[in-house]
Amino acid sequence: MSFYEEVESKWKLEKPIYEALGSEVQVFLKNEILRREVFPEITYRTKDLLSIIKKIERKSIKKNYSYDDLKDKLGLRVICSFSNQLEMIDKIIHENFIVEKAEYKKDDLDFDKLDYTSNHYDLKINSLKILTEKEESFKNLVFELQVRSINQHAWSSSAHTLTYKKESEIPSNLKRKVYRLLSLYEIADDEFSNVNIALQQEENGMAYRYIRKLEGKIYRFAKVDFDRQTSLWKLKVFFKPFDQSEQVDLINQVSAFVDNNEKKLESIYNEYLRDFHRFPSLTQPEIFLVFYMLENYESTLESIYANELDNNELEKIKGIWA
């Protein structure tokens, strides 16, 4: 059997197992990150046969390298909105997987070096956490996980398109241009995080402040994203009867209300999980304000719906909460 036939035969047997592992880990990671009230983009892919053969041939030039040495037959990628969320995801990974190798690009990067900053891991399933009896075939498989912010991912994709891997491969006359480009991505990453924090503290942006405070609860309970324009419009309507200081109190009270009613909310969302198309309000963060007002400001809420919104929607929400 030739080298090519041997690799093809092995991959034909292993690929479905890695596909199943990728699906399992994707779901597990998404649920764990959503529980921390962050909405990630998580994808996975198994390496195609041609890429496997090319990588073995390329690696074999400098050292002995075989099919069994490949660590990225399965690769997963987590992309989060802000760079300051990477630390939280790193904690999830170390708590729930066997970390064979962790590489933090930013820590290894000198100030004058050219590369994107993201976290790379070689992992195994932790049998105590997510391995079930029917998935014994997963136990010893190593797979790759990359965790990046949106801007880190944008830079990585651009660098891949430019087809360079190492700084030494870039002609000297172009290095300055690439340095400038990379600096823009890094500045954007930092500034997006800073602006996000600042907007949450902005006294005049109560609707935005509410969304930032409560959007994580939607990720946690509904496990879907929401329509921001709808939220901004409805929240302005709901906030009208309250002055600014009352609005600040209201946001904090709703957040505490959600925490205090965690079990009830989990029960509601489990019951309506497959019916969000019939009850879309359940997928918007302002629903928690409505639930809170049903308990504390019912007459005010009824007046708002009677004058500016849809009474039928309120009746549906009353039925759900009751």
Residue 100 in this model has a pLDDT that exceeds 50: yes
Element (H, E) at 183: helix 172-201
Residue 166 in this model has a pLDDT that exceeds 70: no
Asked whether residue 168 falls in the same domain as residue 221, the answer is no
244-247 long-range Cβ contacts below 8 angstroms, 24+ apart: 244/203, 244/206, 247/206
Asked whether residue 150 falls in the same domain as residue 43, the answer is yes
Residue 238 lies in a domain: yes
Residue 295: pLDDT band with limits 50, 70, 90 = very high
Count of structural domains, the chain: 2
**% the chain with pLDDT above 70:** 77
Distances (CA, A) of 22 to 95, 101, 223: 18, 18, 19
Neighbours of 75 (CB within 10 A): 18
pLDDT number for residue 112: 47
Residue 106 lies in a domain: yes
CATH of the domain at 54: 3.30.460.10
pLDDT number for residue 296: 96
Of 114, 120, 91, 123, which is closest to residue 164 (Cα–Cα)?
114
**pLDDT tens-digit readout, 130-161:** 655 557 778 889 999 999 888 776 666 655 55
Residue 111 lies in a domain: yes
Asked whether residue 170 falls in the same domain as residue 217, the answer is no
Range of the domain at 110: 3-174
Residue 39 lies in a domain: yes
CA distance 1 to 124: 31
Residue 99 in this model has a pLDDT that exceeds 90: yes
Residue 163: pLDDT band with limits 50, 70, 90 = very low
Mean pLDDT (the chain, rounded): 85
Asked whether residue 271 falls in the same domain as residue 148, the answer is no
pLDDT number for residue 175: 64
Exposed, middle or buried by CB within 10 Å (0-12, 13-18, 19+), for 160?
Answer: exposed
pLDDT number for residue 101: 94
Residue 15 lies in a domain: yes
Residue 125 lies in a domain: yes
Interior angle at CA 70, CA 64 and CA 71, nearest 5: 135
Report the predicted TM-score, pTM, of the whole model to 2 decimal places. Answer: 0.69
> Region 109-113: what's the mean pLDDT?
46
> Region 204-221: what's the mean pLDDT?
86
